Amino acid sequence: MKRAVFLDRDGVINRAVVRNGKPYPPASLAAFELLPGVVEAVAALRAAGYLIVVTTNQPDVATGKQSREVVDAMHDRLRRALAVDDIRVCFHVDADGCRCRKPLPGMLLEAAREWDIELAASFMVGDRWRDIAAGQAAGCRTLFIDYGYAEPRPEAPDRLVDSLLAASRWILAESGA
DSSP class of 11: T
Which tens digits make up the pLDDT trace of 137-176?
A: 999 999 999 999 999 999 999 999 999 999 999 999 998 8
Which tens digits make up the pLDDT trace of 49-81?
A: 999 999 999 999 988 899 999 999 999 999 999
Task: Measure the CA–CA gap between 60 and 71, rounded to whole angstroms.
Answer: 10
Catalytic annotation, residues? 8, 10
Single out the residue of 150, 134, 60, 62 nearest to residue 102, CA to CA: 134
Query: How confident is the model at residue 8, as a pLDDT?
Result: 98
Task: For 36-75, give one letter per residue: b (16+ CB within 10 A) or e.
Answer: ebbbebbebbbeeebbbbbbbbbbbbbeeebeeebbeebb
Looking at domain 4-174, its CATH architecture is 3-Layer(aba) Sandwich (3.40)
